[in-house]
A and B are shown apart, each in its own frame.
Chain A
Amino acid sequence: DQQVKQNSPSLSVQEGRISILNCDYTNSMFDYFLWYKKYPAEGPTFLISISSIKDKNEDGRFTVFLNKSAKHLSLHIVPSQPGDSAVYFCAARGGGATNKLIFGTGTLLAVQP
């Protein structure tokens, strides 16, 4: 039973355009969401996060939107750059003392020059 789903395994975008990566979750108890970026042969690196009490968080070219009623979040990258090409993982915090993260399966973003 996958609690965090990234239904698009891959996405291709032209340089300079907007990239939108989507993530859906099933557990309404999740209270914190994170996006990680992973290059080949490297570990995931933290990108941006959002608390469930907010609906938007912005950091430079990256914006995360949260729609709690739809249990949906999205990551917008504007403008997209070739260096953004990577696998993007959505993660949700399960709550409790462990701060356990539940990850999605990732979306491979390819930004074409």
Chain B
Amino acid sequence: DAMVIQNPRYQVTQFGKPVTLSCSQTLNHNVMYWYQQKSSQAPKLLFHYYDKDFNNEADTPDNFQSRRPNTSFCFLDIRSPGLGDAAMYLCATRVGGGGTDTQYFGPGTRLTVL
């Protein structure tokens, strides 16, 4: 089945230790998004790629970076995780190019920072 896959599902890291979360998609969608969701809060957009064009949200901390080496893969790098970065990280895709506005989400990676 075509889908959005996130690995790992659960990630534990230490305070200040860099961590990378990965997302892959078999939908061949142009647009890929990264959201952060903290408990009982709305998912918050961090950044997105439209093909290779990177778009950062104004309030996304510099600590968060992203890479998209090809259409299928997108990575979220947290350079120096703090306790406040513990959250669920959701990847989503959209077809782009004037197609449907629906975003398709992966299952998320829950990040714990010790």
Binding site for B on A (CB under 8 A): 2, 4, 9, 32, 34, 36, 41-46, 49, 89, 93, 97-106
Contact = CB atoms under 8 A, between A and B. Distances in A.
B42 A4 contact: yes
26 contacts: A34-B101, A41-B108, A42-B107, A42-B108, A43-B90, A43-B92, A43-B105, A43-B108, A44-B105, A49-B101, A49-B102, A89-B42, A89-B43, A98-B48, A98-B50, A98-B55, A99-B31, A99-B94, A99-B101, A100-B48, A103-B43, A104-B42, A105-B40, A105-B41, A105-B42, A106-B42
B17 to A, nearest CB: 25
Contact of B50 (A34, A42, A97): A97
A104 B40 CA distance: 10
Given A41-B108, A99-B31, 7 more contacts: A34-B101, A43-B4, A89-B42, A89-B43, A101-B45, A103-B43, A105-B40
A14 B30 CA distance: 42
Contacts of A44: 43, 90, 105
A49 B102 CA distance: 8
B106 interface: yes
Contacts, number: 54
Interface in B72-103: 90, 92, 94, 101-103
A43 B102 contact: no
B91 to A, nearest CB: 8
Nearest to A105: B42
